[in-house]
Amino acid sequence: MSLALIAALPFLGALLPGLMIRAGRNVCALVTGAFTALALLGVLLHAPAVLRGEVVQTQIEWMPILGLNANFFLDGLGLLFSILILGIGLLIILYARFYLSKSDPMGQFYTYLLLFQGAMVGIVLSDNILLMLVFWELTSLSSFLLIGYWKHLPEGRQGARMALAVTGGGGLALIGGMLILGDIVGSYDLTVILQNADLIQASPLYLPALILILLGAFTKSAQFPFHFWLPHAMAAPTPVSAYLHSATMVKAGLFLLARLWPVLSGSDAWFYLVTGAGLITMVMGAAIALFKDDLKGLLAFSTVSHLGLITMLLGTGSAFGAVVAVFHIINHATFKAALFMTAGIVDHEAHTRDIKRLGGLRHLMPVTFTIGTIAALSMAGIPLLNGFLSKEMMLEEAAHTGLLVGALATLGALFSVAYSFRFISHVFLGPVRHDYPATPHDPGFGMWAAPAFLVVLVVLIGIFPNTMVGPLVATVSSAVIGGAELPYYALKLWHGLVPALFMSIAAIVGGYLVLRAHAPLDRAWLNARRPEAKQMFDAVIGVVVRLSARLTNILHDGAMSRYLAIFTITAVVFSAVAFMGGTHTGGTRELLPITIMPLIGWVLLVVATVTVVLVHRNRLLSLVLIGVIGLIISLAFVYLSAPDLALTQLSVEVVTVILLLLALNYLPKGTPVESTSFRRTRDGVISVVAGLGVTALIYAIMTRDFETISWFHLENSYSGGGGTNVVNVILVDFRGFDTFGEIIVLGIAALAIFAMVEALLTGRSGRTLSNWPRDTTHAGDRHPLMMVVATRVALPIALVVGLFIFLRGHGEPGGGFIAGLVVAIALLMQYMASGFAWAQARQRIDYHSMIAAGIMIAALTGVGSWLAGRPFLTSSFGYITIPPLSEFEWATAIAFDIGVFLTVVGAVMLALASLARIAGRTGEPVNADPMDIIPATRDARKEESH
C-alpha cells in the first residue's frame, strides 16, 4: 500500500462518521475503526522490509521548483510512531464507543479524531519538511477541536484555546527553524537533510535554527517552560486525554527531536538546552503530580514528567541515550494510555475524579483495580513490568552523564514512584466508602478491553522484552542515530550491581516514604507560595489583548482612507529604503518616439482621471468619466496590438457601467463631504508621492533589457494547447488554474450581491424600502418603443455574435469570457428596454444554477486531465471530420470555456436580478408590458376627451 494512501486514509475516513451515526453508534464506531485498521494494516505490510533495514518511499512531485513535493518515507522511527498512532487509535475508538454518553455527538467526535490521526500519521511519514509543517499545524487545529469537544464546559474551551495558543506559537517558530534548515542544506527533503549533519552544524545559522526548532518541539511536548497547557487540556473527554496526551500529540515533539537527532545533536547547545529542559520538566512535573487531587491532573503532570525524561535522554547526545529514549517511548505509551483509560472508567462509574473522594475501589471494581495497578506499577518502575526496564536504563545513562544529572534523575524517579503508589493506594486501597457520588462497579467488557490489552503488553514486554520489542527497538534506534553502529545495550531485568540498581532502590524506597508522609507534605505544599504558570499565562495574554485592542482602535477606525494611507505610506517607505540601499544605473533601452495619437489618448486619460478626482462627489458624472477612462484603455490595447484585451476591457466597461447605473438609481446622487481639508491635503500628497514612485518604477523597468516568458507561450501555444490565439490558450491551458479561480471569485461575488440584497429586503431595511420616496422625477415614457423593438431585434444577432466569438476564441480574438460578456450585455439591454418584470417572466434558466454549472463544467474539465495522467486543466486537442463537413480542430479547452461562459453570464444576470428585486420592493411599476404602452396611452386620452 502506498504511503500517501496510508496518510490519506484517516482523512478520507473523517468524511463518514457524521453520516454513519445515523445508522447507529455501533456502525459509526465500526466504520471509523475500519479506516484506522486499514491504515494500520498498510503500515504492517511494510514492517518486514523496514525491520530488515530498508526504507520505503513514495515520491509525488507537486511543486518541485519550490522544493515542495509530497514525498513520504517509512523507516524504523516512522514505523514505531505509525504503529503507536494507529494501534492505540484503534483501541481509543473502541473505548470511546462505550465511554461517550448518548448525548455526546459521537459522529463529530470520530470525525475530529480521524482528522487528528491523519495529521499525526502525516508528520511521521513526511519526507519533506514543508509537508511536515502542514501536518504539524493540522495537529494543533484538530487537537483544539478535540480538547474543546465538550463545548458546554468553560474549562474545556479555555484548555483548547490555551493548547492552540502555545502549540500554535511553537509551530510558527518551527516553521522558521525548518526553513533555515532547508536553506542551509539546499533541499527540503528530510532524507537529504539527514545526510548533511556536518554542513548544518558548521553553518552560522545552526544555533538560530536549533532554538526555533526546539521551541516547536518543546511547546508540542509540554516541556518547561511550556508545560502548563497539558494539564488544562485534561478538560477534554478521557479518550482524548488517553490518545493525545499519552501516545500521540505530545509525542510529536519527541518524534521531531528523534528525527533530527542525527543532524542537531552532539553540540554543547543541544546538550544544555535539551537535557536541561528535560531534567527540569521531569523533576518539576513529578513533584506537582504528587500533590494533584484530580485523577487526570495527576496523570497529566506524570505525563509531563515522563516526556521530560525522554527529552533528557535525547539531550545527552549519546547513542545509548537515544536507544533508551526509544524504548521508553514504547513503554510509556502502553502504561500511560492504560492509566488514562482506567481514570476514565473510575470517573465514568464513580462520577468523580477527586482522589480524596475515592478509595476502596478494589472491592467494587476488581477488574479496573487490576488494570490500573499493573499500569501504575509499571509507571513506578517496579520489576517484571516494562517501565522498570527503561527506567533502569535511563538511570544508567543519567549516572554516566554526570553527578548532577544522575541525582536529578533519581529524584524524578523517586517522585514518580510516590505518585504511582498514591494512584494505587488512594484510589483502590483502603476501606469501601459510602459517600461516593455514584455506586462504582466495573463497566462492561467494551470499556475495559482496550486498557486490558495494553496492560497485557506491559507485562509481556516486561518479562520477554527481546521477544516482544527487541527487533523493533534496534531498528528504530538505528534510524534515530542515523544508521550508525548501535551501542551495546541489553533489554533484561538484571544488569548486575551497577549504579542504576542502587539509584532505583533509592527511588522506590524514597517514593514509599514520601507517600507515607504525603498528608503533612500536602499541607505544606498547599500553604507554600509558588508561581502558577496558568496565572502567568493569563496575565501575559491579558496584556497582549489590551495592547492589541489599543493598537487596533488607533489603526482600525473604520475609515478606508486611513487603511489605504497606512498601506501606501508603508509601501513608499520600504521602496525608498530599498532604492537608497542599492546601486542605481541608467537604463540601456532607447525610448520610442511619441506620435500624435498616443499623445492625445494619454492627455485624455490624464484629464479624465484628474476630473474624476475633482468631481468624485457627483456619482453619475464620476461613473461616466470612469467609462471614458475604460474606453481609452481599450483603445490603448488596440494600439498595442492586444485585441483580446481590448474586447475584454470594452465588454467589462459596458457591463460595469450599466450595472452601476442601475445601482445608482437606488443610491444618493452625491457623496457627502466627510473629510477635513487637512486629511484631503494629506491624502493628495501621499497619492502624488506614491504615483511618482510607481511611475519611476515603470520607467526603470521599461528602459532596461529583461527576458520574459512570452517566447514560451508563442512557441507552445499551438503545439501544446492547439490554439493560435496565444491569449486564449494562456487563459484556458497554461494559466487555466488562475482563470478557474477567477470565475469562482466572480460567482462568489454574484452570490454575495444576492445575499446582501436578500438581507436588505427583510426586516427594518425592507420596510424602509417599501416606503422610500422617489427623489427624482421619472420620464413619462419609461420603455421607449423604439428601444424595445431595437433590443428585441438585436438580441438574436447578439447571441449569434456571442456564439461566433466563443467558437473562434481558440484561434482568433475571442473566447468564453468575452462571449459571456457580449451575451450578458444583450440580455441587460432587454431588461433596460422592456423592464425587469417583462424580462424576468421570460427567464427559463435559474442564474444560481448557471453559475454552479459553469464552475462544475470547468472543474470537471480539469479533473479529466488527471484521468489522462496530465496536470490539472491541461487541454488536449485533435482533428476530426464530420461528413459532409471538412476536417476541423476540436480541443477540450472548449469545455472549460463553456464553464467560463456560463459563469460570466450567470454572475452578471444574477447581479441584475438582485437589482430587479429592489425595484419591485420600492414600488416601481415593473409589471407593465412595454408593447402595451401606446394602446394604454390612447385609451387614457379617449377617457380624458369624454
Q: How do strand 877-881 and strand 887-891 relate by DSSP bridges? A: antiparallel
Residue whose grid cell is 506491559: 458
CB 863 within 8 A of CB 879: no
Per-residue pLDDT, 44: 95
d(CA 119, CA 142): 8
Q: What is the pLDDT of residues 161-174, one digit of tens each?
A: 888 989 999 999 99
Q: pLDDT band for 927, please (50, 70, 90 cuts).
A: very low
pLDDT of 184 reads 93
The span from the CA of 357 to the CA of 341, in Å, is 19
Q: Is the distance from CB of 694 to CB of 568 less than 8 angstroms?
A: no
Other beta carbons less than 10 A from residue 265's beta carbon: 26
Buried-exposed string 284-312: b where 16+ CB fall within 10 A, e elsewhere: bbbbbbbbbebbbbbbbbbbbbbbbbbbb
Sequence-separated (6 or more) residues with CB below 8 Å from residue 92: 113, 239, 242, 243, 337, 450
Overall average pLDDT of the 657-675 stretch: 79
With 90 as the cut, is the pLDDT of residue 135 above it?
A: yes
Give yes or no for residue 438 having a pLDDT over 60: yes
Q: Which three cell numbers stand for residue 13?
A: 475516513
Name the residue ranges covered by the structural domains of the chain: 265-516, 725-773+781-946
Write out the three cell numbers for 904.
460570466
Look at residue 928 and tell me whether its pLDDT is greater than 50: no
Query: How far is Cα 345 from Cα 446, in angstroms, rounded to an integer?
Result: 11
Section 282-301 average pLDDT? 92
725/648 Cα distance (integer angstroms): 14
Report which secondary-structure segment, H or E, holds 366.
Answer: helix 366-380
**Cβ-based burial of 490 (10 A; exposed 0-12, middle 13-18, buried ≥19):** exposed
Q: Count CB neighbours of 588 within 10 A.
A: 8
> For residue 58, what are the β-bridge partners?
72
CA angle 636, 642, 644 (to 5 degrees): 115
Match 526546539 to its residue by C-alpha cell: 214
Contact residues for 588 (Cβ-Cβ < 8 A; gap 6+): 703, 704, 705
Q: What is the pLDDT of residues 54-67, one digit of tens each?
A: 999 988 877 777 66
Instruction: Report the mean per-residue pLDDT for the chain.
Output: 86
How far apart CA 486 and CA 321 sit, in angstroms, is 11
The 10s digit of each residue's pLDDT in 852-908 is 999 999 999 888 888 777 778 777 877 666 666 555 667 788 888 899 999 999 998
Q: Which of 127-131, 417-421, 555-559, 764-768 has the lowest mean pLDDT?
A: 764-768
For 552-598, the pLDDT digits (tens) are: 888 777 777 778 888 899 999 998 888 888 777 777 888 888 889 88
Flag whether pLDDT at 924 surpasses 60: no
Residue 254: CB atoms within 10 Å: 24
> What is the C-alpha end-to-end distance of the chain, expressed in Å?
93
In this structure, is the dihedral angle defined by the CA atoms of residues 797, 799, 803 and 806, taken in order, positive or negative? positive
Contacts with 45 (C-beta within 8 Å, 6 or more apart), sequence order:
1
For residue 641, pLDDT beyond 90:
no
> Which pLDDT tens digit goes with each residue over 222-242?
898 888 888 888 888 899 988
Stretch (H or E) spanning 427:
helix 403-427
395 contact partners, CB below 8 Å, separation of at least 6 = 406, 409, 410, 413, 499, 500, 503, 504, 507
- What span, in angstroms and rounded, lies between the C-alpha atoms of 625 and 605? 10
Distance CA 242, CA 220 (A): 16
If you average pLDDT over residues 734-751, what whole number do you get?
A: 89
Q: Is the pLDDT of residue 613 over 90?
A: no
| Tens digits of residue pLDDT in 480-498 | 998 778 898 889 888 788 8
pLDDT digits (tens, 9 = 90+) for 500-534: 889 999 999 999 999 999 889 988 888 887 777 77
Specify the pTM.
Answer: 0.73
pLDDT at 47 exceeding the cut of 90: yes
Overall average pLDDT of the 31-41 stretch: 95
Do residues 413 and 504 make contact, with C-beta atoms less than 8 angstroms apart?
A: yes
DSSP state for residue 731 in the 8-state scheme: I
Lowest mean pLDDT among 51-60, 267-276, 651-660, 672-681: 672-681
Strands 56-58 and 72-74: antiparallel
Q: Measured at the alpha carbon of residue 558, what is the angle toward residues 557 and 561, in degrees to the nearest 5? A: 95
Tell me the CA distances in angstroms from 21 to 86, 89, 392, 692, one per residue in order: 22, 19, 47, 63
pLDDT at 929 exceeding the cut of 70 = no
Pairwise CA distance, residues 329 & 659, whole Å: 66
What per-residue confidence (pLDDT) applies to 843? 72
- pLDDT at residue 214, rounded to an integer: 95
> What residues are paired with 128 via a beta bridge?
189
Rounded to whole angstroms, the Cα distance separating 313 from 323 reads 9
Answer whether residue 390 shows pLDDT above 50. Answer: yes
Q: What is the pLDDT of residue 940?
A: 40
If you average pLDDT over residues 142-148, what whole number do you get?
A: 91
78-82 average pLDDT score: 94
Cα 255 to Cα 82: distance, rounded to the nearest angstrom:
11
Q: Which stretch, 175-184, 639-648, 915-924, has highest mean pLDDT? A: 175-184
How high is the pLDDT of residue 939? 44
- pLDDT for 937 equals 41
Quick: pLDDT tens for 817-841.
Answer: 889 989 888 888 887 787 777 777 7
User: What value does the mean pLDDT take over residues 427-452?
Assistant: 90
Q: 663 vs 307, which has greater pLDDT? A: 307
Q: What is the rounded CA–CA span in Å between residue 530 and residue 17?
A: 46
Return the percentage of the chain with pLDDT > 90, whole number. 44
Residues 6+ apart with CB under 8 A from 99: 237, 238, 239, 344, 348, 447
Which element (helix H / strand E) includes 552? helix 533-555
H helix runs in 615-731, sequence order:
619-639, 643-664, 677-702, 710-721, 726-729
DSSP string covering 22-77: GG-HHHHHHHHHHHHHHHHHHHHHHHHHHHTT--EEE---SBGGGTB---EEE-HH
Q: Are 599 and 721 in contact (CB under 8 A)?
A: no
- The pLDDT, as a whole number, for residue 425 is 93
Q: CA-based Rg of the chain, rounded to a whole angstrom?
A: 36
Average pLDDT over residues 328-335: 94
- Distance from C-alpha of 93 to C-alpha of 117, rounded to nearest angstrom: 11
Segment 307-323 mean pLDDT: 93
The pLDDT assigned to 67 comes to 62
Smallest CA-to-CA distance from 387 within 328, 431, 446, 306 is with: 328
Give the residues across from 57 on adjacent strands.
73
Q: What mean pLDDT comes out for the span 415-434?
A: 92
- Residues 6 or more apart whose CB falls under 8 angstroms from that of 221 comprise 250, 251, 252, 253, 254, 257, 307, 311
3-state secondary structure 234-291: HHCCHHHHHHHCCCCHHHHHHHHHHHCHHHHCCCHHHHHHHHHHHHHHHHHHHHHHHC
On the question of pLDDT at 664 being above 90, the answer is no
3 state SS of 558 = coil
Rounded distance, CA 225 to CA 590, Å?
A: 63
Q: Which residue has the cell 453559475?
A: 851
Closest CA to 205 of 178, 227, 233, 184: 184
Phi first, then psi, for residue 123 (nearest 5°) are -60, -50
397 Cβ contact list (under 8 Å, min separation 6)? 313, 316, 318, 320, 321, 324
Residue 374 near residue 385, CB atoms below 8 Å:
yes
For residue 934, name the pLDDT band (cuts at 50, 70, 90). very low
Task: Please give the average per-residue pLDDT across 609-626, as a whole number.
Answer: 88
Q: Residue holding cell 499519552?
A: 246
**Cell 468624485 belongs to which residue?**
616
Question: Taking residues 316-327, what's their average pLDDT?
Answer: 92
Q: Which residues 6+ apart lie within 8 Å of 375 measured at CB?
A: 335, 336, 338, 339, 342, 451, 454, 455, 458
The closest of 537, 519, 529, 532 to 291, measured between CA atoms, is 519
Specify the higher pLDDT residue, 588 or 404. 404
Lowest mean pLDDT across 106-120, 430-444, 780-794 = 780-794
> Residue 725: what pLDDT?
84
Across the range 734-745, mean pLDDT stands at 89
Q: Is the per-residue pLDDT at 936 higher than 60?
A: no
Which pLDDT score is estimated for 102? Answer: 87
Greater confidence (186 vs 558) lies with: 186
